[in-house]
A and B are shown apart, each in its own frame.
Chain A
Amino acid sequence: MEGFRVLVVDDELDFLETIVKRLQRRKVDVIGVESGKAALELLEQQQFDVVILDVRMPGMDGLDTLKEMKRKAPLMEVIMLTGHASVESGMQGMQLGAFDYVMKPASINDLLEKIKQAYERKRLHEKKVRDVP
């Protein structure tokens, strides 16, 4: 579980705190922020490998945040987290470059599995980018 950094973005503080605690307990290097804006600001200073992003948030919503993130860090993988399990918003997220989407409430193990898969893909992408002379 070492070597990669995860950012969780969700406006629901109770959810955010707990998921961060639980992921940390599973040895994931994770930081939580409560808005898209805060996440983008943090990205200015730090680098993350995988972002878990809630779709529905007040102010800047998940899809807008996703677009901005992909602009800043194209190789960073994003997993959409949605209580609004409509395929449209999930698909829209995928089209915008998200790795996958997970429906709330999600089991921690499923989520962890998705995070790992996302990190794998990111590493693969980075390798490809490096291999290109």
Chain B
Amino acid sequence: MERTDYRKLYWKIITTTLTFSLVPLFALGATIYYQFRVSYTAKIMESLRTLTENRRNAIDLFFEERVSQLYTLAYTQSLDQLRDEKYLDQVFTLMQSRSKSFVDIGIIDRDGTHVTYVGPYNLAGVNYKNESWFHEVMLRGVYISDVFMGFRKYPHFIIAVLRREGDRSWILRATIDTEIFDAMVKAAQVGKRGDAYVVNREGILQTAPRFAGHLLGKIESPHTSQFSGIHVEEMQMNGETALFSTTWLKNKDWMLVIKEDPSQELTPLFEARYMMIGIIGLGVLVIVLGTVFVSRATVGQLIQSDREKAMLDASLVQSGKMAALGKLAAGIAHEVNNPLAVIKEKVGWMMDLLSEEDISQSENFKEFDDAVHKIDQHVERAKKVTHRLLGFARRMEPIKDKVDVNKLVDETIDFLENEAHYRNIVIQPEYHADLPTTLSDSSQLQQVVLNILNNAIDAIGKNGQIDVKTDYSVKDEQIVITISDNGPGIPNDQLDRIFDPFFTTKEVGMGTGLGLSISYTIVDKLGGRILVSSEVGKGTTFTIYLPVIRQEKA
């Protein structure tokens, strides 16, 4: 596989894994958050609704109490009694002693004239005939006004009750201190940004809100039409989003508005959101890291195994090549051997005949004799080649002996010492001290080492060094023999072919080109591997790996 293919695979694994793990994570996170938000919002709305309901009930009760107080007074006392200012003052003082909400009280006759008045202002004798509330109370019997400034220049509202007493009818009218009412509404102002106020049908504020405006100011009202029950909703008003809870009062066409700042009320929700984002972020980080790690490991493993497979393939190709070439070589050798045998016999016969005395007297005898011996010599040479070829093709099972590789290498070096010395080449051995013995074929192995050393000496020519090192890899249970020369090195294009039969860089007649291929075959049969690395100008290193076999397999 190409490098880019590995990268592609790497990214493919990463994207797939991330998709399959992040999508559920996000989905889960979003669902949980959504559910939490829904239930939390519901809870907040519910509590807001309860608050509104309580407030409304309290206000309603307040109105009802005031109205029924006035009713009681109007219907238990006669006009004549109440007309007496002293008596009314007595009653009013009694009423105020229980509740400070009444500011003043007065009796108005059917013509609209304030007959009697008890309170801080001088309102006796004022005529209300043209006031709209006067007609309202005459019509309906009871009336609660909006807040107004009136004659007093002070925000207040009135409650008026009509009493029909025989053919007379009169009105008991009282002023309610808005402060007490205000305080009741303001009690619903919760939080730092919460607000509570009362507006009338026209959107005029009946109590002073905290933020939205001032008393008797106009305000944008969430609802203008009357409805029953309580509305809780999130609305955008005056440029900010807030939770609004609205309800109409029972006794008066006023609407109670309680506003809550969602950002404050929903703080736990936002906290939950941040926590969730944090957890998901952490999860994403862990997943991404894990994915990258696993993908990298997987691709690394794949590259490793591909590389091993490629090496195995290469060695299988080499083995296959060897086998095919071996067969070919054997076939050729056999075909060549037969004519060689005939030539050898003919030459032999000629030599037999030349040895007869009478021929030896002939003048060209020496020439004949020379020629015939040369032919015999070269048949021998050809025979060596064919026999080596056959030896290469031979599928002989190696003998298994206990082999001390150090000793074997040492003996082989001894064997070549003279030749090396003569060419001023130093062979520098370095033996691993605790090299285990292995079951192997010592003579074949020696041939391999000899071949490689011979090649090294030939490659150097004169003046050089060959390092021979034995080592033991405990992990792989392998003996490693490294033979490095500082010769001219092998160019890359030849490096692939050096184990091929008949491949030689030596002069014609100097090498058969079989040494390394035989070595390769031998090491292969012994269960090992032989590798070569070379750099032109620096030298060549052959590495032989031999398995450590401690016992003959049964």
Contacts and interface: CB of A to CB of B under 8 A. Distances in A.
Do these two chains interact?
yes
Contact of B342 (A12, A87, A88): A12
Choose among B337, B338, B349, B383 the residue with the greatest number of A CB atoms under 10 Å from its CB: B338
B394 A86 contact: yes
Contacts, number: 70
Contacts of B393: 86
A43 to B, nearest CB: 24
Given A103-B387, A105-B379, A105-B383, A83 B349 contact: no
Interface in B321-352: 330, 333-335, 337-338, 340-346, 348-349, 352
A14 interface: yes
B352 A14 contact: no
A14 B346 contact: yes
Nearest to A56: B334
A120 B418 CA distance: 43
B341 A12 contact: yes
Contact of A86 (B341, B379, B390): B390
B1 interface: no
A18 B349 contact: yes
A15 B338 CA distance: 9
A67 interface: no
A85 B390 contact: yes
Interface in A12-70: 12, 14-15, 18-19, 21-22, 25, 56
Contact of A108 (B337, B348, B396): B348
B341 A104 contact: yes
A12 B395 CA distance: 27
A106 B341 contact: yes
Contacts of A21: 349, 352
Nearest to B382: A105
Contacts of A72: none
Contacts of A85: 333, 337, 387, 390-391, 394
Contacts of B396: 87
A84 interface: yes
A104 B337 contact: yes
B360 to A, nearest CB: 16
Contacts of A84: 330, 334, 337, 390
Given A18-B346, A87-B394, A105 B352 contact: no
B342 A14 contact: yes
Contacts of B383: 105
Contacts of B387: 85, 103
B343 A83 contact: no
A79 to B, nearest CB: 14
Nearest to B379: A105
Contacts of A106: 341, 344
B345 A18 contact: yes
Contacts of A105: 337, 340-341, 343-345, 379, 383
Contacts of B379: 105
B61 to A, nearest CB: 121
A77 B434 CA distance: 52
Contacts of A104: 337-338, 340-341
Given A15-B338, A104-B337, 14 more contacts: A15-B345, A18-B342, A18-B345, A83-B334, A84-B330, A84-B334, A85-B337, A85-B394, A87-B394, A87-B396, A103-B387, A104-B341, A106-B341, A108-B345
Interface of A: 12, 14-15, 18-19, 21-22, 25, 56, 83-88, 103-108
Interface of B: 330, 333-335, 337-338, 340-346, 348-349, 352, 379, 383, 387, 390-391, 393-396
18 contacts: A15-B341, A19-B345, A21-B349, A22-B348, A56-B334, A83-B334, A83-B338, A84-B390, A85-B387, A85-B391, A87-B394, A104-B337, A104-B340, A105-B341, A105-B383, A106-B341, A107-B344, A108-B348
